[in-house]
Amino acid sequence: MKRRFTQAEVYYLNTLPAVERASMDRITYSRDFQVRCMAQYLRGNGPTSIFASAGLNPKIVGSKRIERAIARWKADPQIMLEAQSFANKAAADQRDLLVISQSMTIAWLEKKVMDLQKQIQSVKRHEAERPSMPAHGALIGLE
């Protein structure tokens, strides 16, 4: 017997681009997700990780639903033809994606460095504004 989704789960599922519509009993996935999912599957990614990366948590969707969806889409020649075409194109674009991903990571790291530098400057300004206190060693007569 299928587990029914709660109202909150249905609302959440309906916010995902991978879901065309969801009800208490059923999820209808977008055609784009079906094709992209099977393209990733053809490239060796696991069904659970593919669904999870689309926001479809296996704890909500259920592993059986995931297995059945993959089996249905695998048996659909049109989905598989589109997925194969998408996978081939994606393989050619893989290098571009890597470069984009790395440049995004670099930009994020540069922003982090700038934020940390600002924090350091703020701490230094704050310390400079405080009245100076004798060093700890001076308090006990070591200096």
3-class DSSP state of 126: helix
Task: Evaluate whether residue 134 is within a structural domain.
Answer: no
Instruction: Give the contacts of 112 (CB within 8 A, at least 6 positions apart).
Output: none
Q: What is the C-alpha separation between 104 and 109, in angstroms, rounded? A: 9
The residue written with tokens 């704890």 in the block is 59
Q: How many domains does the chain have?
A: 1
Task: Evaluate whether residue 143 is within a structural domain.
Answer: no
Q: What is the C-alpha separation between 47 and 70, in angstroms, rounded? A: 7
Neighbours of 104 (CB within 10 A): 10
Task: Evaluate whether residue 78 is within a structural domain.
Answer: yes
Q: What is the pLDDT of residue 133?
A: 61
Q: What is the pLDDT of residue 80?
A: 94
Task: Evaluate whether residue 140 is within a structural domain.
Answer: no
Task: Evaluate whether residue 142 is within a structural domain.
Answer: no
Task: Evaluate whether residue 116 is within a structural domain.
Answer: yes
Residues 68 and 27 sit within 8 Å (Cβ to Cβ): no
- Residue 74 carries which side chain, given as an amino acid letter? K
Q: What is the C-alpha separation between 11 and 60, in angstroms, rounded? A: 12
Q: Is the pLDDT of residue 33 over 60?
A: yes
The parent domain of residue 109 ranges over 7-129
Task: Evaluate whether residue 138 is within a structural domain.
Answer: no
Q: Is the pLDDT of residue 143 over 60?
A: no
Neighbours of 36 (CB within 10 A): 19
Give the end-to-end CA distance of the chain in Å, rounded to a whole number: 79
Task: Evaluate whether residue 135 is within a structural domain.
Answer: no
Q: What is the pLDDT of residue 115?
A: 86
pTM, two decimals, is 0.61
